[in-house]
Copies of this chain bind each other. A is one copy, B any other.
Amino acid sequence: MLEPDKLTLNIPDTTKPRVVIIGGGFGGINLAKKLSNDDFQVVMFDRQNYHGFWPLLYQVATAGLEPDAIAEPLRKMFGNDDYPDFHFRLVRVTGVNPAAKTVETIIGDLPYDYIVIATGTKSNYFGNEQIKKYSFPLKEVPHALNLRSQLLQAFEQASMTVDPEVRQALLNIVIVGGGPTGVELAGALAEMRKHVLPTDYSGIDFSRMNIYLVEGLDRVLPPMSAEASEKTYKYLNELGVIMKLNTLVESYDGETAVLKGGEEIKTNTLIWAAGVSGALIDGLPAESVERGRILVNQYNQVLGFQDIFAIGDIAFMKSDEYPRGHPGVAQPAIQQGKLLAKNLKRIIRNEPLEPFIYNDKGSLAIIGRNKAVADLPKNMHFGGFFAWFIWLFVHVMSLVGFRNKLVVLSNWFYKFFTYENSTRLIIRPFVRKGERVKRRFINKYDTD
């Protein structure tokens, strides 16, 4: 592809106020949808050309869904007549310059009237470069495809060894992090161990396949209620997942995971779902950033600025009810995006702004084939099949396109009745010959 010096942002001049949105996640797309193009010119930068429904990414990794079922091209969402002054650019943002009122990218700067940082999070390896190098993250579509190939390739290789130690390392899967991603992944793998893999790999004794779920705190699903954690522990235990609570992974060299305390697990596949930190961009003063997130007031204005906003996971809005900010899930991002659209309209009309109040709609996690846990408002907690049904409904309804809803739903029904993970294709990503993968169009808030 082209060198950056041959490119330019090429955004049309405008007399309308220009809103620059960095990131096409839940916050960014809900903001852009509600921003009338009569009032604003809207520019969106992202390093991917699609919006992803990340709560289902583990399904891509476990061969249940193909990426198109959980991702929607941003240009498809905003390429219609409802958004005549919306401009998407697939480009890496390097920073913001509040003095010059420009946003900086690798192919040039763009003056803004309002800038909205909606960059989300990236994997946090807590400074452990070795784990970063050898572990498999699960934050993006290519990660999921790569993990899928890795898992299937490990089973292929396990069928081609007579050395019990080599085989055991291939059959040990270590998931680090007992949050929703880790829990849902562990459940999906445990189901595959029961229903799909023994048929596919008849030469392998799958009672020897170990799924470890390592969590630093004293319970799985720490963001959810104690009831949900207990039920989840019980369900995963029934599925045969080996949970190690109060346990940290100290090192991993691609072959051996060393846990705090000294226990060692030989494994070729260590999946890192242990933590995230904000995907920051340059140019904000240090006092606007705390614990890797951007401090905002109740209008999502970044501390010290009137025209710079942050929404979603990257935003740190302290309140009495949420002294450590809102949970890192889709709903705060969606609600902040929608409210900010209203507030930007109020700003240009010199009307008073509306403060953000989080409407907690509850949390859900799926465990295996037909169980889930749900924390709903008013202290309602569900488990089992009913929660699974809620989970299915909520997730399918939240998917973006009508087509995606259909694909996911039909895949589920198919899987539910056939126990099949249908997309078991090993498609190891590979680079074009003679060319290194170009990461230059990937935003600064890249997770790698």
Contact = CB atoms under 8 A, between A and B. Distances in A.
Nearest to A406: B410
Interface string A76-88: 1001100000010
B202 A107 contact: no
A160 B107 contact: yes
B424 A73 contact: yes
A437 interface: yes
A71 interface: yes
Most buried by B among A2, A87, A201, A268: A2
Interface residues of A, number: 78
A416 to B, nearest CB: 13
Interface stretch (A185-193, A257-265, A311-319, A428-436): A428-436
Nearest to A73: B424
A324 B309 CA distance: 69
A107 B2 CA distance: 41
Contact of A49 (B9, B156, B437): B156
A157 B73 CA distance: 16
Contacts of A268: 1-2
Contact of A427 (B145, B428, B448): B145
A50 B6 contact: no
A430 B145 CA distance: 10
A371 to B, nearest CB: 24
Contacts of A403: 414, 420, 422
B157 A425 contact: no
Most buried by B among A91, A163, A420, A429: A429
A426 B48 contact: yes
B437 A133 contact: no
A432 B91 CA distance: 22
A434 B10 CA distance: 36
Nearest to A155: B75
A267 interface: no
A68 B66 contact: yes
Contacts of A350: none
A10 B67 contact: no
Given A68-B423, A89-B156, A430-B439, 9 more contacts: A12-B203, A48-B426, A73-B425, A79-B201, A90-B426, A142-B429, A142-B430, A403-B420, A406-B410
A41 interface: no
Contacts of A68: 66, 422-423, 425
A131 to B, nearest CB: 12
Given A1-B157, A80-B199, A403-B414, A6 B166 contact: yes
A321 interface: no
11 contacts: A1-B154, A1-B157, A49-B424, A67-B425, A91-B160, A132-B433, A136-B432, A142-B430, A145-B427, A428-B437, A433-B448
A7 interface: yes
A365 interface: no
**4 nearest A-B residue pairs (beta carbon):** A429-B429, A68-B423, A66-B66, A75-B200
Given A1-B268, A91-B160, A161-B10, A146 B432 contact: yes
Contacts of A134: 434
B427 A437 contact: no
Given A49-B152, A153-B1, A403-B422, A430 B429 contact: yes
B428 A200 contact: no
A142 B276 CA distance: 30
B448 A10 contact: no
A432 B133 CA distance: 8
Contacts of A163: 6
A299 B431 CA distance: 41
Contact of A9 (B2, B141, B160): B160
